[in-house]
Copies of this chain bind each other. A is one copy, B any other.
Amino acid sequence: MTSVVKNDALVVFTPSGKRGRFALGTPILQAARSLGVDIDSVCGGRAICGRCQIEVAQGEFAKHGISSSTNSVTPAGEAEGRFATRRGLDEGRRLSCQALLNSDVVIDVPASSQVHHQVVRKPHEAYDIVIDPVVRSHFVEVSEPDMHEAMGDVERLRRALREQWELQDVTCDLFVAQKLQAALKVGKRQVTVAVRNENQIVAVWPGLKTRLFGIAVDVGSTTIAAHLCDLTSGEVLSSAGIMNPQIRFGEDLMSRVSYIMMNAGGEEELIKSIRKALNELVVSVAEQADVSIDDVLEMTVVGNPIMQHLVLGLNPVELGTAPFALATDNSVDVLASEIGIQINAGGHVYALPCIAGHVGADAAGVLLAEAPYKREAVSLIVDVGTNAEILLGNKQRMLAASSPTGPAFEGAQISSGQRAAPGAIERVRIDKETLEPKFKVIGSDLWSNDPDFAEQTKASGITGICGSGIIEVVAEMFLAGVLDPDGKIRPHDSIVSDCIVPDGRTSAFVLHRGQQEIRVTQNDVRAIQLAKAALHAGAKLLMEHFGVEKVDRIRLAGAFGAHIDVKYAMVLGLIPECDLEQVSSAGNAAGTGARITLLNRAARAEVEAQVRSVEKIETAIEPKFQEHFVASMSIPNGDSSTTAAQKRGRRGRRGGRRVE
């Protein structure tokens, strides 16, 4: 009998299930690589970055015919021990670059060790994000200069990247070349470089640098929000929001554009102001996460067309008047320093493309985050801000439009309206018998008729009605018969209730009597009617273009979408008919879009292609929009098959003359 000495062994990786036989002594990392198992490494197998951690499964694996134990790989040697001492290594974890194959083994690759792992989505988000950022760090050992081989250090670095990381044809920015030799000296020829798009060296540090960061920014007209992410884990480490300082040049976008048109140097002022705010946000999120701004290598930005233009230093005046010509509808990818953003000198800003003159990069972000173009079902996605941006479509075809809702949904132009903040009424119920209202304010869980309500709201007071509150109160007024379908408040003398009071030639509904009376006037109702008519008409217009009577699902993006009770949106006719189960909030989808492009580079090409192919509908020049608009004035909604002229005769004109 001859005894067979096996000189190879079977390795099975979980959770991928990939398997193969390798010579004894093969590093597990190498086995993983040759099987295409996704294990990260920054240091290239030198036991210093700790990215390639795995766990050796223990037990009998009947399915694979393997008995796997910690002895199936070689024990930790000196290098791994040094790493464990210096950086710590959890119980059961091994560095796959150091663990060599001893016998058949099952290896578990934890998600944190995978290069392209997914970040699990948050409640409102439509999809997981696959981590594959545009910038990655690579640790390299660069050969010593040698008079026998005349060669620049940049070229030695490029050779090292080719040989140690299989990165071909990598260019090196001049400002990196300017720092390279000093870094090589300090790092004793070992440096970490940040490589962008696998082809451009944008930063260099002496020695090992494992973590790089990025910031996703959502630039709203009112607030700017930023999220700092670890570009490797995808984790959001800190978030911050500040008021858009441009508010001092005008509350709404058009007044800011006017400011530029009326004031010499106004353009520079607005640009400077927004960039200053962005830089403050960068510092704020970086400090919160205890990260140096020099380690921030990438920023992605979404915003409406005017904000996007100003961040990029593009004059937005053309966006102020028809034909609303964008300076560019392409994405912009520039060195952060070129637009005055202070992150790493090699850091870049990627600004998502605008869809059209009224449909911004924020809508592009929503489009990417929601990806309705991946579904068979026809989605209607609405992002309500000062304008409503509306996306409609499915796998076959996508349409986009902007509808001029005005800021009523945000509580502006409403007599007691205010922004969502403690003290603002956000929920309302009206007793159908007594017409007595009750409400909740932000900052308290209690209804206003609760005995403890006064105590609980003492600090904030009851200060006004926010966007979701105004929707509810108008819807409840309609449901309680206080409003007729035309939106007229019942005359105060037609009904016995303290809540309906005379208000000039019309009536008003009193929601709260206190230090500050909060009432809903006929003008408030009209403002909401105009806003909801615009939104509904925009949706109807797109549905008509698409050729559907009914959409399969509706997603409400933005803060408005997150706080509104979809039932009331339906009662009021904000959104077209849809199975209520299929109406949901998309959260801050625009910001999510920015975050996706920060963490996944393929998403950039995706959003660019989608933005290019989406059909842009300009409501301002569509005659049917006016018809839908007029029809949508009534509550919930009228029938636009009757002609616009008839409607006008019956209900009066939009604006100007009061609808009686």
Contacts and interface: CB of A to CB of B under 8 A. Distances in A.
Interface string A600-644: 000000000000000010101100000000000000000000000
A181 B357 CA distance: 14
A153 B323 contact: no
Contacts of A318: 145, 153, 181
A328 B621 CA distance: 57
A456 B329 CA distance: 72
A5 interface: no
A148 B323 CA distance: 9
Contact of A178 (B180, B313, B326): B313
Contacts of A338: 174-175
A174 B174 CA distance: 19
Interface string A163-182: 00000000010110110111
Contacts of A313: 174-175, 178
A345 to B, nearest CB: 11
Contacts of A23: none
Contact of A328 (B152, B326, B359): B152
Contacts of A155: 328-330
Given A318-B181, A329-B150, A174 B618 contact: no
A325 interface: yes
Contacts of A147: 322-324, 357, 618, 620-621
Interface string A116-130: 000000000000000
A106 interface: no
Contact of A334 (B174, B323, B355, B356): B174
Nearest to A357: B150
Interface in A137-164: 144-148, 150-155
A314 interface: yes
A315 B618 CA distance: 55
A332 interface: yes
Nearest to A334: B174
A18 B324 CA distance: 49
Interface in A557-587: none
A312 interface: yes
A313 B177 CA distance: 9
A354 interface: yes
B621 A339 contact: no
A145 B327 contact: no
A355 B151 CA distance: 8
B178 A314 contact: yes
30 contacts: A145-B318, A145-B323, A145-B325, A147-B324, A147-B357, A147-B620, A150-B329, A150-B359, A150-B618, A152-B330, A152-B354, A153-B327, A154-B328, A154-B329, A155-B328, A155-B330, A174-B313, A174-B332, A174-B334, A174-B338, A174-B339, A175-B313, A175-B338, A177-B312, A177-B327, A177-B328, A177-B332, A178-B312, A178-B327, A181-B318
Interface of A: 144-148, 150-155, 172, 174-175, 177-178, 180-182, 312-315, 317-318, 322-330, 332, 334, 338-339, 354-357, 359, 616, 618, 620-621
Given A147-B357, A147-B618, A147-B620, 15 more contacts: A147-B323, A147-B324, A147-B621, A148-B618, A150-B357, A150-B359, A152-B326, A155-B330, A172-B328, A174-B312, A174-B313, A174-B339, A177-B312, A178-B315, A180-B327
